[in-house]
Amino acid sequence: MTEYRHYRNGIWAEHSSTFEVREPYSGTLFARVAACGRADAKAAVDAAAAAFDSWAALGPAAKAALFLRAAEIVEARREEIADLLARETGSGSYFANFQQNLVKQTLLQAAQWVYQPAGEVLHSDHPGTHSTVVRRPLGVVASFTPWNGANILSWRAVLQPLAAGNTVVVKPSELAPVSAGLIVAEICEAAGFPPGVVNVVTHAPGEAAPIADEFFENPDVRCINFIGSVQTARMLSERAGRALKRTVMELGGYNPMIVLDDVDLDYAVRCATFSAFFHQGQICMNARKIYVQRGIFDQFLERFVAKTRDLKLGNPADPSTVIGPLITDAAVQSVHSRVTEALAAGAKALTGAAFDGKIYEPTILVDVPDSCAVSTVETFGPVVIVQPVDTAEEAVEQINRSLYGLTSSILTGNTYRGFELAAKVKAGAVHVNIPTIDEEVQAPIGGVRDSGWGRTGTYSLSDFTDLVWVNVESGQRDLPIG
């Protein structure tokens, strides 16, 4: 068990009260963490505001050197961070390595984001006028980071604003304050980031409101960067609208997979298993509903059920474990209540529909009525619906009824057919012959419709900068009056 202070202005600040974080799998005490309040949030924002001008003015070579040094530290601490992820978030070795590889790649690519063009030259209809558009950083960005992909999502929520020239205050989830924030602060400090550039404010369960109040009411905070649920995003967006603050929202999804009748069935089953059950269904990109053409529906189900029953359940610290614990008892109950509702309405569970402690068995449902919550609302657990369709077009029509639009997958033996269908699916990412879960640092990750707005990587520069028109006249303009 380790005690953690919160981090602001380059120091680990003491706090009079703490809260406990327990391991999802064993319930063992993992850490005691500073329980901050509004005054701590204000101090962190003040530190970020004071550091902003110098950070924004720092040259790209100096920024890049810090990102590259941080990448070296991440690699050196790989095993330690994997252990933290397993203990604090229930992440198995597969997901821990998946995240850490992305973190390292993101840090390496962030070193070149700072060299992206800072604007462009415009043509002017006025001779002697030099017209330019310049990107300028916003100021302080307040980033809310989640527990589920804690390592990669917290780094992304920090690096994108930093690369654009902003300073950051992070409010990590109380379910994973170390993985979703404090470990980032440790590495940034070790890499030599200037004081105040990165700050992390932690809070006890149920005590996020005072910190959020400070973010929304403090004029130095110019952007709310949120990664989390649609329900919370609605509340934050309302507050941001009243405060006239910019928002970037990376939200959940009800992600579909289409399996066409010309597919390699074994590959389709592997993609479905990975998409549905990776990190026990607690990733916003997990597949929630799989549409299978009727001609191969029974064959697909038989193989998918067999593969699912072979998945190993247990301690995430065991490298062979595939299905570890859900994050909390409340999460288990939420998943089970939706499964139970579906079964009561006539659905059938071909696997799972049961749990032991916080481990929920991977569950395949069929014949689920559309009226059930699990059929339309993101259920954060290892539960997937498999549904027959006659045609690919029928699947696309049903997919586009959803208000979500994060990611999707089309599996087919005809790549061109998949490419044509991809143009019709309303989602931020459409993967052909790839699982619903896929991420490359150079790609614009993000959703459409109720799955949010804003994109990652170099595409995030427009989210975290203002466009300023700088218009210079070398002579004197003819004016209509005066």
Which residues are marked as active site?
250, 284
d(CA 110, CA 234): 30
> Which two tokens mark 386?
């498999």
- Distance from CA of residue 356 to its chain's centroid? 28
Strand order across the 465-473 sheet:
119-122, 129-137, 465-473
- What is the pairing mode between strands 407-411 and 255-259? parallel
Contact assessment for residue 168 and residue 162, using Cβ atoms and an 8 Å cutoff: yes
In sequence order, which residues have a C-beta less than 8 Å from that of residue 24 and are 6 or more positions away? Answer: 88, 89, 90, 324, 325, 326, 327, 328, 358
Sign of torsion over alpha carbons 376, 382, 388, 392? positive
